[in-house]
Amino acid sequence: MDLFKYLGKLFEKKPGKRPYKRVVAVFIDNHNVENAELDNGVRYLVKWATLISDIKRRYLGSNAPIWASAYTREHGSEEVVERWKESALKYWANHGYQLHTYRKKDIDSLIVGDLWRSAALAAEANATDLHLVLVSGDGLFADTVKKIREQYQDRLRIKLNVYSWMPSLSWKLKAEARKGGVHDLTSLKNLVAKKTRVSNRRAS
């Protein structure tokens, strides 16, 4: 099932149930971690588990439905991509997520197109809120989301939250986030480190 069939089903009104008025779509640009993180499988899977639990806790509640699309650039080796898919699919599926993967050279245009399409579908289904969660490196796609907000301002409340793979969040990235109306910019590295410290304290 592709992203837009899935989102369409979220908005279908079932007997005795109210249709969904909010949808959360996650877009994962994985190009910065293909090679570096897969050498350390444990650390890599901890990242996935931490990201999943944080998205659920902050935006959804534990049982809410979600869609995740993952994009992998062509320069990664076949072996690396397959290992990445195996670990990613396992973790996202076990936590109730739909995950589809794409592997193309021009990932940016693919993500931009999917952002626009998700907004169009949400508006068509009379949703009131569209929550976009982007897991990226240094690309916030803030300009795209700003244009989407302007086009759908009378029909949708749109939020954009970004998890960055960057080791540190530079002032330039933070400034771009503020300018683009990003609601929250989170360092995934810091998030994992915080979770690890908490786990260590509990274990001791």
- Residue 88 maps to a domain: yes
- Cα Dmax for the chain: 53
CA gap 139, 142 in Å, rounded: 8
Q: Has residue 160 been placed in a domain?
A: yes
Does residue 9 lie within any of the structural domains? no
Number of domains making up the chain: 1
Question: Among all chains, which residue has been given the structure tokens 């050498």?
Answer: 39
In a domain, 182, yes or no: yes
Query: In this predicted model, what pLDDT tens digit does every residue of 91-118 receive, in sequence order?
Result: 555 555 555 566 666 677 878 888 888 8
Task: Going residue by residue through the chain, which has 204 residues, state the pLDDT in tens, using 9 for 90 and above.
Answer: 455 555 556 556 555 555 556 666 777 766 544 444 444 444 555 666 677 677 767 765 544 455 566 666 555 566 665 666 666 666 555 555 555 566 666 677 878 888 888 888 778 777 777 878 887 766 667 788 889 989 998 988 888 888 776 666 677 777 777 777 788 888 777 776 666 555 555 555
- Looking at residue 133, which CATH number applies to its domain? 3.40.50
pTM of the predicted protein model = 0.68
Q: 88 lies in which domain range?
A: 25-203
Q: CA–CA separation, 93 vs 45, rounded Å?
A: 13
Whether residue 184 is contained in a domain is answered as yes
CA–CA distances in Å: residue 92 to residues 53, 89, 102, 155, 171: 10, 5, 15, 31, 32
Question: Mind listing the pLDDT tens digit for each residue in 146-156?
Answer: 899 899 989 88
